Amino acid sequence: MTLLTALPVILPLATAVAGLLLLSRPRWQAPIGLAGALALLAAAAALLVRTWRDGIQVIEVGGWPAPFGIVLVSDMLSAVMVTVAAAVGLAATVYSFRVVDAGRISAGYYALIHVLLMGVCGAFLSGDIFNLYVWFEVMLMASFVLLVIGGERPQFEAGLKYVALNLLGSVGFLSGVGLLYGAAGTLNMADLAVRVGEADADARYYTVVAMLFLVAFGLKAAVFPLYFWLPASYHTAPAPVAALFAGLLTKVGVYSLLRVFTLIFTQDTGYTRELLLWISAATMVSGVLGAAAHQDMKRILSFHIISQIGYMTMGLALATPLALGGALFYMVHNIIAKTNLFFVAGVVRRLRGSYELKDLGGLARAHPWLAAAFFVSAFSLAGVPPLSGFFAKFIMVRAAIETREYAVAGVMLGVGLLTLFSMVKIWTEAFLKPSPGGAVSEGAVGAASWVPVIAFALLAIAMGVGAEWWWRPMELAGQQLFDRTGYIEAVLGGGAR
């Protein structure tokens, strides 16, 4: 038995506890947060390497054997997501150093980031459906507080909408768990997969339960038509928090959809996949059209989160090994590019004091490095080769053509074009056109903000140029998701006991 699988949960917990115990010493908060984030990234990378070399890792918490105890499972999907989450957590922590005010820090800002990371990593690793619900709530609680602490009226208003709608999603999720347990008599995901697939199981009942999960996770992932809370709330948060939310929170919803619809609810794939196909296409189109209508940088980026989620759920709808691996590749690419775009928007805001495109201008001349970082991230999001987004879209389009879904492939390419339009809009308005007010007084931006921006831009380039190496773990993850017997055997067959 190895503790490594549980470390991505234990380390953020320890960091958060240390941070809260030392809450009366604001100077210690940032170093503790940084140390915790570095340790988390190291543990996550070690877990990724071990999962890559030795196959699926299982730890039975408290020594209770599956399916009775709670298991933490790390397959390639989980391990990759945990690693990316740790990287985003580290970047957001570093970015926060000069940005976050003293009020937020003494309210436990850094500790809350680690509570959030604990929830996210726990959700990625959990092999128990009720435990997944608990991690969701841990993550949501931390995100509620991060959104409203130190805030003013816009944060409170956005927070209320965010809390109400996410609670509604949680109620749906919990109802689904209750109904699932009532019929199958187990909560372990691998055991559920076996029981739901049994011949005498009532497939129609499970399809109804599956729809509850689809609504609950769809709400968190912000798919059509459940995305309306996202553009109403994300843009009010401070830049590092918005980047963290944009990068991670919706992806936890996508991850959960991928997990339950490849592992548990495989009894009526004709219906669920058709439904997911339509939902994904509608998500892509409505998100990108919403972005085209707006003139506020953070709001445009918020709508693009929605549009990109559609590509990831499309991977689930197509459900070939290539499409599932492609969905993961897309998620990783999107987390890197999207987080960085929010980082850049935050820097722009501090330089010029606005997110409105009409107030901005001349940034390319004044700050070529910032312009380069934005250019790389934005055009990666739009799918311009040789950046990461090109390969992500290439894999998805290829998967669509291989399954003969030509209309889907067409929608993907069209949405890519509209994404490019939005990004070019920001690029010309904020960076290329001369500044509207002539000479401007600029706020100061410390090195702590530049490091994550440049690092993530380099990651986006590396993921594009070295796409083949990045694809190999994702390809394995796609195969593991497509053929669920490996997961079931690893959990129920004893695993690494």
Residues that bind other proteins (CB under 8 A): 130, 134, 137, 140-141, 144-145, 148, 152-154, 156-161, 163-164, 167-168, 170-171, 174-175, 177-179, 181-183, 187, 232-233, 235-236, 293-294, 296, 299
**Shorter beta-carbon distance to other proteins: residue 178 or 493:** 178
Single out the residue of 66, 183, 81, 123 nearest to residue 489, CA to CA: 66
**Shorter beta-carbon distance to other proteins: residue 196 or 387:** 196
**Shorter beta-carbon distance to other proteins: residue 195 or 333:** 195
For 366-395, b/e burial (b = at least 16 CB within 10 A) is ebeebbebbbbbbbbbbbbeebbbbbbbeb
**Shorter beta-carbon distance to other proteins: residue 163 or 189:** 163
For 398-435, b/e burial (b = at least 16 CB within 10 A) is ebbeebebeebbebbeebbebbbebbebbbebbbebeb
Minimum separation from the CB atom of position 43 to other proteins (A): 27
Minimum separation from the CB atom of position 130 to other proteins (A): 6
Minimum separation from the CB atom of position 31 to other proteins (A): 29
Single out the residue of 450, 448, 470 nearest to residue 460, CA to CA: 470
Minimum separation from the CB atom of position 161 to other proteins (A): 7
Q: Tell me if residue 73 falls in helix, strand or coil.
A: strand
**Shorter beta-carbon distance to other proteins: residue 226 or 324:** 226
CA distance 301 to 346: 12
Question: Do residues 434 and 362 make contact, with C-beta atoms less than 8 angstroms apart?
Answer: yes
**Shorter beta-carbon distance to other proteins: residue 212 or 467:** 212
Question: Do residues 380 and 482 make contact, with C-beta atoms less than 8 angstroms apart?
Answer: no
Q: CA-based angle 215:219:225, to the nearest 5?
A: 85
Single out the residue of 412, 368, 372 nearest to residue 389, CA to CA: 412
**Shorter beta-carbon distance to other proteins: residue 48 or 120:** 120
Minimum separation from the CB atom of position 160 to other proteins (A): 5
Minimum separation from the CB atom of position 102 to other proteins (A): 20
Question: Do residues 449 and 346 make contact, with C-beta atoms less than 8 angstroms apart?
Answer: yes
CA distance 310 to 322: 17
Minimum separation from the CB atom of position 296 to other proteins (A): 7
- Tell me the Cα Rg of the chain: 21
Minimum separation from the CB atom of position 103 to other proteins (A): 15
Question: Do residues 2 and 44 make contact, with C-beta atoms less than 8 angstroms apart?
Answer: no
Q: Which two tokens stand for residue 432?
A: 């290329």
- Residue 231 preceded by cis peptide, ω within 30: no
**Shorter beta-carbon distance to other proteins: residue 104 or 299:** 299
**Shorter beta-carbon distance to other proteins: residue 178 or 437:** 178
**Shorter beta-carbon distance to other proteins: residue 72 or 376:** 72
Minimum separation from the CB atom of position 344 to other proteins (A): 21
Mutual angle of helices 7-21 and 26-54, in 10-degree steps: 180
Minimum separation from the CB atom of position 107 to other proteins (A): 14
Would you list the DSSP string of 136-202? Answer: HHHHHHHHHHHHHTT--HHHHHHHHHHHHHHHHHHHHHHHHHHHHHHHH---BHHHHHHHHHSTTS-
CA distance 426 to 318: 32
